Amino acid sequence: MNKTYAYYPGCSVEAIAASYHVSTMEVAHKLGIDFAEIEDWNCCGATAYAHVDELLANVLSARNLALAEAEGRADVVAPCSACFKNLYFANEHMLDDADLMEHMNYALEEDNLHYTGSIKVHHLLEFFVHEVGLDRIREKATDRLQGLRIAPYYGCQIVRPRKKGQVMADVEEPRFFEELIEAIGADVADFTHRLQCCGASLVVTNRKAALAMLREILDSAVAAEADVIATACPLCQVNLEVYQSEVNHEYDTEFQVPIVYFTQLMGLALGSKPKKVALGKEVVPVAKALAQRQE
Amino acid sequence: MQFGEEVMNLLYASEGKPLSRCIQCATCAAVCPAVDFMDYTPRALIALINADEKDEVMASNTFWTCASCFACSERCPEGIRPAEMMYALKRYSIWKNQFQDGLVGPDFSRRFVRTILRNGKSYEPGYAPAFIWEGGFTGALREVQIALKLLRRGRLPLIPSRIKRVENLRRMVGRIMPLEGLE
């Protein structure tokens, strides 16, 4: 029997980033991976929760990890970089600090939960590359994306802060996103701003700062002649896509860069119809960029 | 207690070195993507903290302009973690209810926490009152247009979704800190 992985969707994928969720499920289906959504999961706290109290932020992740453990899972996979970072580091902190673990378990009693620390947390993108493996993906990929130039946008929290045992190169020169793009038969558009911040919640709290940051990323992707930017986080996708018109308004630019989730491109490469990977809900149209590559 | 020490005490799990180690090399300022929008660079803010200039620090917009990208924390040659320090300052500022007038960040963070305590999940449209008028009337109009585009594509949730055991979650949080202070 196949191993089942706990899937932590995160709040964004319920509406604004529904395409990410739909395409993730489609790709999992194509690759024969069993994802089981954690029952009654709660918000990870994003960054705003940690602004108020660090323990408070940890207890939110502790509940999600405890729920997955109670369901008998060994791994939790999160598609959102902020959720991933919160789950991953809450887990690490609890493992490193027995007092914190005890404190969290005292709080978890209120929901009849207990966490022992057995869960491994993965970001969805790294899960595909490192757990599923590029060979398995390459094997199933068609040549549908041949010639499509994809800019792999890592953003921040998938690689930073660095994890235990990682060195500077893991943070400064990651290659796993590029490797995945090559494995699905597309071309990598190497762009300078692949690890620069999208502005995250500054789009709400300091709009001008966020637009300046977004402009640089879009500029860099255009300079690299990217057909499309692939993202691995709902916040990155929404900022780059939905606020692209605001960048154009602020800077008198004419950006029309399609921004998709990497799973949507994976799905296409694996033979899924565009509808199956929820293409068509974009504010910046994607169809034209993809048209010449599809039957 | 020195202010710097007070700030570091708000960092429960961070493994960063004390701010007193700062050599003012400005690597943090050089790698910060939001530095142009801060009144003090991260380097200057650390200098102020180390000089115990608490009022000057609390009146600054710097920590509320940090996007948590962690570039500074990865590159500080002295092992200080400025991004985590920014979190600590945000907490301190919310805790003491002391921040620069007109900032959206504190209101946004409080709304966020209240939403999670009510529903167990986030609800994006609920944060709009924190920022909708920032760009004036025309800004608000464009904001509405963006919302409509998302709505037409089924990307805006009309009602907040709620977890089943939200009461248990609230009691869990209550074991960490008094709920009255958060709501």
pLDDT, tens digit (0-9, with 9 covering 90-100), for A97-129: 999 999 999 999 999 999 999 999 999 999 999
Q: Can you say whether the dihedral through the CA atoms of B126, B62, A169, A191 is positive or negative? A: positive
pLDDT of residue A1: 61
* A32 pLDDT more than 50: yes
Look up the pTM and report it: 0.95
The pLDDT confidence band at residue A176, using thresholds 50, 70 and 90, is very high
Q: Do B175 and A242 touch (CB under 8 A)?
A: no
Encode burial over A144-182: b for 16+ CB neighbours within 10 A, e otherwise: bbeebbbbbbbbbbbbbbeeeeeeeeebeebebbbebbe
- In this prediction, residue A50 carries a pLDDT of 65
Run of H or E residues at A121: strand A120-123
Give the tens place of pLDDT for each residue, A39-72: 999 999 877 666 567 788 899 999 999 999 999 9
Confidence of residue A295 (pLDDT cuts 50, 70, 90): very low
Flag whether residue A41 sits within 8 Å of chain B, measured between CB atoms. Answer: yes
How large is the greatest C-alpha to C-alpha distance in chain A, in angstroms? 58
Q: Is A107 within 8 Å of B182 when comparing Cβ atoms?
A: no
CA distance B3 to chain A (A): 18
CATH architecture of B3-95: Orthogonal Bundle (1.10)
Please state, in angstroms and rounded to a whole number, the distance separating the CA atoms of residues B29 and B43. Answer: 6
- Is A281 an 8 Å CB contact of chain B? yes
Task: Report the distance separating Cα A233 and Cα A17, nearest Å.
Answer: 9
Q: Is A202 touching B (CB cutoff 8 A)?
A: yes
Quote the ipTM score.
0.93
Per-chain mean pLDDT for chain A: 94
- Residue A207: C-alpha distances to residues A73, A204, B34, B163 (Å): 40, 6, 11, 31
What's the confidence (pLDDT) of residue B12? 61
**Digit-coded pLDDT (tens) for A187-204:** 999 999 999 999 999 999
Cβ neighbours of A93 in B, within 8 Å? 13
Domain boundaries, chain B: 3-95, 105-181
What domains appear along chain A, each with residue ranges and CATH number?
Answer: 4-123 (1.20.1050.140), 145-269 (3.40.50.11810)
As a whole number of angstroms, the distance between CA A29 and CA B171 comes to: 38
| CB within 8 Å: A206 and B65 | yes
User: Which string of DSSP letters, residue by residue, matches A253-276?
Assistant: ------EEEHHHHHHHHTT--GGG
Q: Indicate yes or no: CB of A52 within 8 angstroms of CB of B182.
A: yes
pLDDT (tens, 9 = 90+) of chain B, 183 residues, equals 788 888 877 776 567 888 999 999 999 999 999 999 999 999 999 999 999 999 999 999 999 999 999 999 999 999 999 999 998 899 888 888 899 999 999 888 888 888 999 999 998 888 888 888 888 888 888 988 999 999 999 998 888 899 999 999 999 999 988 777 777
User: Which chain A residues touch B153 with a CB distance below 8 Å?
Assistant: 281-283
Helix (DSSP H) and strand (DSSP E) numbers for chain A? 14, 8
Q: Does A71 touch chain B (CB under 8 A)?
A: no
Q: For A131-156, what is the mean pLDDT?
A: 96
On the question of pLDDT at A151 being above 50, the answer is: yes
Using a CB-CB distance cutoff of 8 angstroms, which residues of chain A are in contact with residue B163? Answer: 40-42
Task: Provide the strand spans (E) within A167-285.
Answer: 187-188, 228-231, 259-261
The beta-carbon neighbor of A49 closest among B112, B146, B168 is: B112
